[in-house]
Structure 1
Amino acid sequence: MKNKFNRLSLAVAIAAAAFASQAQAGGYQINEQSVSGQGYGHAGRSSNVNDATIVYGNPAGMSFLDRAQVTAGGTYLNVNTDISNTSSDSSIDGAAAGLGVPPGAVQVPMGPISGTNDGDMVPGTLIPFAFYAHPVNERLAFGFGVYAPFGSKTDYEDTFEGRNFGNYTELRVISAQPTVSYRFNDQWSAGVGITYNRVDGELATKIPGVLLGRPGGPDGEVRVEGDDEALGYNLGVMYQPIPETTLGLTYRSKVSYTLDGQSQASGGAEALIPNQDASLELTTPETVNFSLTQQMTDNLKLMFGASWARWSRFEEIRIDGSVNPDPITQETQNYSNAWAYSVGGEYQLNPQLALRAGVTIDNTPTSDQFRSVRIPSDDRRIFSIGAGWSPTEDMTLDFAYSYLTERSTRVDRERTLGPTQLDYAADYKNEAHGFGAQLTYRF
């Protein structure tokens, strides 16, 4: 039983890491790579050329810039979560309880798991970015960008009722992207960017005191840290059939990681869970973004965008460890392909000031069956406003505010740790406020 418990405990920790990092690219994919784009809900991400952030939005767009420029900024996210209608339960196998029955024959109830459900487990976070674009001539342009495509942090209180399903998760992905674009004529341009991606993650899961020989006593903890580096690429094309209409299409490749890390125990769990190596093959999905920008009048332009992520390739989590040559665990995930849609507009009030607004519908790839306390997300709606102020021809300051609201969702999980069966269920309601600012300087 001890060896089985070791494997299961490590599986809980690392499987949660994989699930959390994958979910960042769906329910919590980071879109904050442009504050000017944030103002109109990123509706024209692949087609509207405002500044150097087009290096990320569509590599082909750099050749539509008239001079070299640098854009840097960030968005501060403040996430609020309300947890309600909670229930939990625990039981132990009758054989382990000394009832003299075969293992698995009967479960002996041990009562609910005591704890709190404060919510608001996501700390405020600043997401920075920086881009540089340099047109060499009327056709050729080079650029470079540094940004965060994925990332999150959930830090529940120590007494969280669902702590045995994940009490701490932190994921950070930083990408660096050299880019080149070429404009074939007045209508067509194409671009490509190579991405160097580094992922760092840390997570923790509480282990019930009853499994550590102290029923009703404090929990132990399993904590996992890991990192990896990998390459990917972006492709973009931009088409302008007439000066007033611009269409853009961007493809972002999948990125494959092998996360190597360590599982470490504390709080009394050391006697049951040896520190050991573990690895996980992780692939984030390819995505496609299409957008249209239409200049309606000299002062008004409207935008539409649609994004698709191929999440259907994420069918299971397979974790290999140093304890046993067989897989530590294989968990079915069955993600769905996900779509997001956005509409927005920009009005040039005067030569110095542009006003923006947009709405985004972002559908989650997760399902009710596999939703986790680490990523308790669902379909979301985002409402954005913004402004761009150009005090001189060389400098623009952009500001944006976004309000995100998610559909109320239910988390209903069960887990077996050694002889113990754990259950936790709760309703989650998430909302977030995003405050963005960026500076563009043209040379």
Structure 2
Amino acid sequence: MTTSSKFLFRASFVAASVAAASSAYSAGFALNDHSATASGKALAGVAASNEDISASFWNPALFVNAKETTVYVSGAYVMPSMDVTNISTTDPASTAIALPGSSVNSDSVDDTLVPSFYIAKPLSEKTVAGISLNVPFGLSGDYGQDWKGRFHATETGIQDIALSFSLAHRMSDWVSVGASVQVHRAEVVLESAVGTTAAANSEGIGRIEADDVGYGYALGVMVEPRKGTRVGLGYRSEVDFDFEGDVKYTGSSAALAFLQSRNLVDADVTDSITFPSVLSLSLEQDLTSKLVLGLTAIRTGWGAMDGININFESNQSNSVLTFGFEDQWMYSAGLTYAYSDKLTLRTGVAMDNSPVTDEYRSARTPDGDRKWISIGGTYDFNDMTSATFAFTHVMIDDVSVNRNFTATGEEDSGRGKISADYESSANVVSVAMNMAF
């Protein structure tokens, strides 16, 4: 790894430390704002785009869009809202939890910034090398330690930072190919209440923190069979992580003594999780010299994530949470309009299907299908510098969590019951600078 790429990775890690964005933006916990350009049209046509190098996240062949050394820096500010109502819960001893009430307001999800960086350097007339930094997956939720569902979750955090090294080559006037190798650094935080409310000083907090480095790759091709018609296909591989970390318990001395009597003690933890693959297929069609139609279908292989099965290096039983995710598709359509020589406008809509099933929806994954409406634009200051903006409103289907698996040996036997209704939405503002040298 070069000195410059090490610096970029460290800088990205600092920026991405706040980028475990709420799942209110993208289905599951995928983050799809890696480009203000693409966000302005709801990712329509993104894997076939000839606009700039930021589309290389979905298709590494699109680094060929760089004709000179180019830097693209993008940031998305995600403003989620989540209201939880009609909450009914019991603790692991089947004691009903009466307080603090029947609702949780939107403070349980925080505004956050999701950064992206791209650098492209032409090596020849036909070959381009690229480096990019992205946050492909992120999730953040903090209900607080006093809400009624605290035995299922108080805080959840996932962040995945990816550093990619790419090569793209224009094989002919109508075919370009590309590939990348990726280094991923992922962190997981899982916190919840443990013990019971049935007796005084018998409830504490357990907090798991773990991380690992994983590796992946991407492949892509873009073809233009006829002038003005572009088709792109990109694939990002699964990434395997063997997380290692620890669990720590906090509470009063009496509560810690009670937890210790139940073998709940500080210990090292391990778990193996596979983050999903992403397949992107796009079409761009020039309708006129100024108007472009874009279509995209993105398949995320969520089925690879069977759930969490945390092994404790002590006498504690494994902590299991089945995800039951299903592979899902996102579909989008959009238009790009060259309003003038300096201003380009975009709009798009998308349907983003959730991988979460009703049976396994939990307080950590209160996910529903989404609809996007996006607008955006780019202003060219000159031939070398441009600024891009986008705004996306995300509408999320109302969902309910209903977990009643309380039989001995079932995965919720140490959590109790929970039923609750969720209403969520999000607004996302994205800005970017594109600079050529």
Common topology (TM > 0.5):
yes
**Cα deviation code 1:190-231 (max 9, x no counterpart):** 1001110001122210125536x41xx684100111110011
Matched, 1:194 2:185: no
Alpha-carbon shift at residue 78 of structure 1 (Å): 0.5
Matched, 1:119 2:105: yes
Structure 2 Cα separation of the partners of residues 169 and 238 of structure 1: 38
Contact 1:312 1:334 in 2 (8 A): yes
Report the RMSD for the aligned CA atoms in angstroms: 2.4
- Relative distance call for 1:114 and 1:128 in structure 2 (3 A) is same
Contact 2:24 2:80 in 1 (8 A): no
- Please state whether the residue corresponding to 1:148 is helix, strand or coil: strand
Structure 2 Cα separation of the partners of residues 54 and 36 of structure 1: 8
Structure 2 Cα separation of the partners of residues 249 and 78 of structure 1: 31
User: Matches of residues 72-83 of structure 1 in structure 2 within 5 Å?
Assistant: 72-83=73-84
Structure 1 Cα separation of the partners of residues 110 and 377 of structure 2: 27
- Please state whether the residue corresponding to 1:374 is helix, strand or coil: coil
- Please state whether the residue corresponding to 1:196 is helix, strand or coil: strand
Structure 2 Cα separation of the partners of residues 110 and 165 of structure 1: 14
**Cα deviation code 1:282-329 (max 9, x no counterpart):** 0012121000011111110010000112223333543322125x9725
Structure 2 Cα separation of the partners of residues 90 and 227 of structure 1: 29
Matched, 1:295 2:286: yes
Structure 1 Cα separation of the partners of residues 46 and 343 of structure 2: 20
Match in the other structure for 1:32: 33
Contact 1:80 1:430 in 2 (8 A): yes
Alignment: residue pair count: 404
Match in the other structure for 1:42: 43
- Relative distance call for 1:394 and 1:167 in structure 2 (3 A) is same
Matched, 1:369 2:359: yes
Alpha-carbon shift at residue 89 of structure 1 (Å): 3.4
Contact 2:152 2:192 in 1 (8 A): yes
Match in the other structure for 2:237: 253
- Please state whether the residue corresponding to 1:50 is helix, strand or coil: coil
Contact 1:24 1:152 in 2 (8 A): no
Match in the other structure for 1:17: none
- Please state whether the residue corresponding to 2:61 is helix, strand or coil: helix
Matched, 1:357 2:344: no
Contact 2:26 2:32 in 1 (8 A): no
- Relative distance call for 1:24 and 1:351 in structure 2 (3 A) is closer
Question: TM-score, structure 1 length as denominator?
Answer: 0.86
Matched, 1:207 2:194: yes
Alpha-carbon shift at residue 169 of structure 1 (Å): 1.3
**Cα deviation code 1:34-65 (max 9, x no counterpart):** 00110000112210122221331311112243
Alpha-carbon shift at residue 390 of structure 1 (Å): 0.6
- Relative distance call for 1:123 and 1:218 in structure 2 (3 A) is farther
Alpha-carbon shift at residue 261 of structure 1 (Å): 1.1
Match in the other structure for 1:270: 256
Equivalent AA in structure 2 for residue 147 of structure 1: N
Matched, 1:408 2:395: no
- Please state whether the residue corresponding to 1:37 is helix, strand or coil: helix
Match in the other structure for 2:417: 423
Match in the other structure for 1:341: 331
Structure 2 Cα separation of the partners of residues 236 and 421 of structure 1: 44
**Cα deviation code 1:239-260 (max 9, x no counterpart):** 0111201100001000000010
Match in the other structure for 1:110: 95
Contact 1:207 1:219 in 2 (8 A): yes
Equivalent AA in structure 1 for residue 269 of structure 2: A
**Cα deviation code 1:400-442 (max 9, x no counterpart):** 0000011000011246599877221111011000001000011
- Relative distance call for 1:279 and 1:90 in structure 2 (3 A) is closer
Contact 1:118 1:160 in 2 (8 A): yes
Match in the other structure for 2:383: 393
Equivalent AA in structure 1 for residue 388 of structure 2: D
Structure 2 Cα separation of the partners of residues 29 and 350 of structure 1: 35
Structure 1 Cα separation of the partners of residues 75 and 127 of structure 2: 28
Match in the other structure for 1:439: 433
Contact 1:118 1:157 in 2 (8 A): no
Note the residue ranges of structure 2 that are not aligned, 5 or more in a row.
1-20
**Cα deviation code 1:343-362 (max 9, x no counterpart):** 01110000000010000100
Match in the other structure for 1:134: 121
Contact 2:99 2:148 in 1 (8 A): yes
Alpha-carbon shift at residue 118 of structure 1 (Å): 2.2
Equivalent AA in structure 1 for residue 100 of structure 2: G
- Relative distance call for 1:26 and 1:402 in structure 2 (3 A) is closer
- Please state whether the residue corresponding to 1:165 is helix, strand or coil: coil
Contact 2:59 2:280 in 1 (8 A): no
Question: TM-score, structure 2 length as denominator?
Answer: 0.87
Match in the other structure for 1:318: 309
| Worse overlay, 165-174 or 267-276 | 267-276
Contact 1:32 1:75 in 2 (8 A): yes
**Cα deviation code 1:355-412 (max 9, x no counterpart):** 1000010001111111111221110101100010012111110000000011000011
Structure 2 Cα separation of the partners of residues 160 and 330 of structure 1: 22
Match in the other structure for 1:6: none
Alpha-carbon shift at residue 148 of structure 1 (Å): 0.5
Identity %, equivalent residues? 28
Equivalent AA in structure 1 for residue 82 of structure 2: T
Equivalent AA in structure 1 for residue 362 of structure 2: S
Match in the other structure for 1:283: 274
Structure 2 Cα separation of the partners of residues 401 and 87 of structure 1: 36
| Worse overlay, 196-205 or 244-253 | 196-205
**Cα deviation code 1:114-143 (max 9, x no counterpart):** 224223111100001110112222211111
| Worse overlay, 147-156 or 33-42 | 147-156
| Worse overlay, 170-179 or 430-439 | 170-179
Contact 2:163 2:182 in 1 (8 A): yes
Note the residue ranges of structure 1 that are not aligned, 5 or more in a row.
1-19, 93-108
